[in-house]
Amino acid sequence: DIQMTQSPSSLSASVGDRVTITCRASQSISIYLNWYHQKPGKAPKLLISAASHLQSGVPSRFSGSGSGTDFTLTISSLQPEDFATYYCQQTYSIPPTFGQGTKVEIK
C-alpha cells in the first residue's frame, strides 16, 4: 500500500496568513493526489483533484501543486471558515490511502 505522510500534523495561524501543507507519498503517484478538508461533525469536502485542479465552487485562495511524491496545498489568505482538518489522498492505486491529516487552528 502507498503511505501518505502529511506535515505538519497541526498548525496555528491567523486570519490572513498564508498557509502551506505538504504531503509526501511513499512512491511516485504521478498527479493522482486529492485534497479535502473536514470540519468537526461534518463530511469531508473535496477541494482539489489531480494535484492542482480546483473543484467548482472552491475559492481561488486554495491551490495545489506537485507531482511524483511531493505535493503542496496552499491557502493564500486564511479565512475564518478555513479552520478545519485537511487530508491528502492518493488514487494512483488501490487501496486509495489518505494522509493522517493536518489540523489548522486559530492562533
Partner 1 sequence: EVQLVESGGGLVQPGGSLRLSCEASGFTFSRHWMTWVRQGPGKGLEWVANIKEDGSARYYVDSVKGRFTISRDDAKDSVYLQMNTLRADDTAVYYCARVFRGVFASDAFDIWGQGTMVTVSP
Residues of the shown chain interacting with partner 1 in the complex, contacts defined by CB under 8 A? 30-32, 34, 36, 38, 43-46, 49-50, 53, 55, 87, 89, 91, 94-101
Q: Minimum distance between the CB of residue 80 and partner 1, rounded to whole angstroms?
A: 22
Q: Which residue type does 82 have?
A: D
Query: In what order do the strands lie in the sheet containing 4-7?
Result: 4-7, 19-25, 70-75, 62-67
- At 19, list the grid cell: 498557509
d(CA 64, CA 17): 17
Of 68 and 101, nearer to partner 1 (C-beta) is 101
Of 15 and 50, nearer to partner 1 (C-beta) is 50
Q: Minimum distance between the CB of residue 44 and partner 1, rounded to whole angstroms?
A: 6
